[in-house]
Structures are given as structure tokens and as C-alpha cells.
Amino acid sequence: MPDSFQSRIPTLSEAELRRYAEQPLSYRTDAVLAAVAELARRGQALPAGQVETIQAQLTQRDAARLAEAPWRRHLGQDPVTRRTRVSRVTVVILGVGLGLAASLWVLTPPPAANPLGFEPEDSKKYLRQMEMIGGKANVVASQLQTWFDGLWHGRGLPRTVAVLTVVLAGTFWLSTNPGPPEVRPPSQP
């Protein structure tokens, strides 16, 4: 739900907008600054000292949150710098992982044919015997185990590496993305 407050702030009453200014630590930084800017746009601007106090409180809170997550500290304090670094690291993760998957695909020989000419596990007789011994759950469990083992051998390994790379890059990007840029209130004359 991208920036829902951006569309909601102009519809709020002045009392609701003032609540953002009176309790800035209860709301997101960008929502508070958008509320302050909306009050200024409506001609109900807050005193410059109060706006500075609000910004100082929000900056202190954001710095404390950043200090709680030390691995984010290396990505930068400024949201623009952080967004750039997160994007670069995400591209590096994708490049390395997908490059590794491509090289594994090229280097992996195709599967050798079974010397019997067929796979015994695929025969109806074998499946019937498995079902008689352990029931349908035994057949399903055997198929699941065969599938899972195939993820780590032969041509399944490059696919697995590619999928894990995309999941890792997506998780990194979503967990470190700083969100939308902050809205700055207009400067007071």
C-alpha cells in the first residue's frame, strides 16, 4: 500500500492534523511532516520553533531506531544514500547468484540414461507395491523425497540456486528498503 497517508492527509480536519504535530512520535516521520506541510498550505502554519522541535524529536527517534539495527548503519543515514546502496547490493546479489546458476547450468552434464531403459520407480507394479506396503502416503512421501533430492543434483541445482538468489535478493531489498522519501514542510518566511 504505497503512500496511503499522502492521499489521506489532505482530507483530514485541522484538529486531526494538529494531533500529528502534538504527538509526532506516535506517527511515521513522513506522515508528521506531511501533516505539518498541509497545515502550512491551509494557512495554519505552526510556529518555526515548534516545527524545529518536531523535526528534532523525529530525527532523534529515527537515529535511535537506526542504532537498534547496526547492520542498517552501513547502508547510510540519508534515505537517498541508503536507497542507492540497497539497490546496488541487491543488484550484486542477483548478479552473483544468477551468474553462479548460469555457470552451473552450463557445466552440469545432462542426466545419463538409465541402462535398463526405464526408471523402475515409475512402473505401475512398483507404485502398487509401495501403496500396498505403506498406503498412498508412502507413495506421496517417496515422490516428495525424489523431488527434493532432485533439487540438489544435476539440472535441478542451477534452478534451485536461481530461485534462492531471487528470494534472498528480494528479502534483502524488502527488509532494508527505507521506504518513500520524507516530505519536508515548506520553509517559513
Instruction: Give yes or no for residue 34 having a pLDDT over 50.
Output: yes
Side-chain half-sphere CA neighbours of 65 within 13 A: 12
Q: Cβ(51)–Cβ(36) under 8 Å?
A: yes
The domain ranges of the chain are 4-68, 79-176
* Selection from 23-37, 54-68, 159-173 with the highest mean pLDDT: 159-173
Side-chain half-sphere CA neighbours of 7 within 13 A: 4
Which residue, among 82, 104, 86, 106, has the nearest Cα to 164 in the 3D structure?
104
Instruction: Give yes or no for residue 189 having a pLDDT over 50.
Output: no
pLDDT digits (tens, 9 = 90+) for 92-128: 999 999 999 999 999 988 888 877 777 777 788 888 9
Q: Cβ(38)–Cβ(49) under 8 Å?
A: no
- Predicted local confidence at residue 1, as pLDDT: 44
- In this prediction the pTM is 0.54
